[in-house]
Amino acid sequence: MDALPVSEETGLAFASQQPGVMHACGHDGHTAMLLGAAELLAQSAILDEVGGRVVLIFQPAEETGNGAAAMIADNCLQDVDMIFCGHIDTHHPVGHLAVDQGLICSCADPFIIEICGKGGHAARPHEAIDAVVVGASLVLNIQTMVSRMINLAHPGVITVGRIAAGAVHNVIAGKAVLEGTIRSTHPDTRTQIIERMQSVVRGLEEMCKAEISFTLHQGLPAVVNDPVSCALARQAAQEVVGIDQVISQGAPSLGGEDFSFYQEKIPGTMIRFGAATDQDTGPSHSGSFDFDEKVLGYGSRWLATVAVHALRYLQKS
């Protein structure tokens, strides 16, 4: 449903058969959960008793950030009054569901920085403007900026995930491209980070005599669970796993989720499905990522249960 450009290293019998591509974030599990919820609802007479309609949204392209917006454009929310989803999370034990009201995922803004210097011979750097050196200075300055200029009460992070420059070892690169993401949990932090990044770019441009462009692409809004849908999500979670197994995820995640686009249209809540394994597996987005498959049953039951709870609430309101 939503694989990543990561080579699988799990060695599992059902590992990806596509070189360089794997499910490294649990979206295959989410798909299985929703299919399970569909079967539970279809086998039960509860929908006939409660009335109303449940729409199951199998959405691709969460990892590219534009899947939800495309689904909305295709009218997936037509006649839908409330929406729910969950995400597998190996930071929490299996059988636990994390439910929180308010902000749970940060804003996510991708950016590209293009550096145009002046190529030259590796032995004569004084005749060139080294785009690699400028790019390295940018990365270091950006990290210092976050650790020393951002209010720690409103966390933010900047990650440069890709640097491309040069072709051979003995030629100074005249061009470099940096791609990364800004994550922020507060509008003021987001604005501050963007403004300071622009200042860093302008300063290095002047100091290094290079041309540097900073392009910020449309990102993801924060995921904010509203009180009513969150209360319904919590009730359903308590019914599925018991009150003691319903937990908080803790501080808001700096991860981004395009579920936020649905929340801009209708009330909705996103929860987390505990899925930690007892194996030495890697984190999400790594080649060794895996989760405890017992989470699939909990996820299916919660999705079916919360749908019924929401229908009952909507029928009364």
Residues tagged active-site: 2, 62
Close Cβ partners of 100 (under 8 Å, ≥ 6 residues apart): 225, 230, 248, 249, 271
Indicate the residue type of 49.
Answer: E
DSSP H or E stretch at residue 314: helix 295-316
CA-angle at 14, arms to 8 and 17, nearest 5°: 55
Give the torsion through C-alpha atoms of 89, 95, 98, 99, to 10 deg: 140
8 A C-beta contact, residue 185 and residue 103: yes
Handedness of CA 224, 228, 232, 234 (dihedral sign): positive
**Which residue(s) pair with 76 in the sheet?**
none
Q: What is the DSSP letter of 197?
A: H
**Which residue, among 182, 169, 81, 83, has the nearest Cα to 132 in the 3D structure?**
169
**Which residue, among 37, 45, 9, 13, has the nearest Cα to 24 in the 3D structure?**
9
CA-angle at 258, arms to 152 and 253, nearest 5°: 25
Give the torsion through C-alpha atoms of 115, 120, 122, 127, to 10 deg: -100
8 A C-beta contact, residue 212 and residue 204: yes
Q: What is the DSSP letter of 222?
A: P
The helix/strand/coil state of 13 is coil
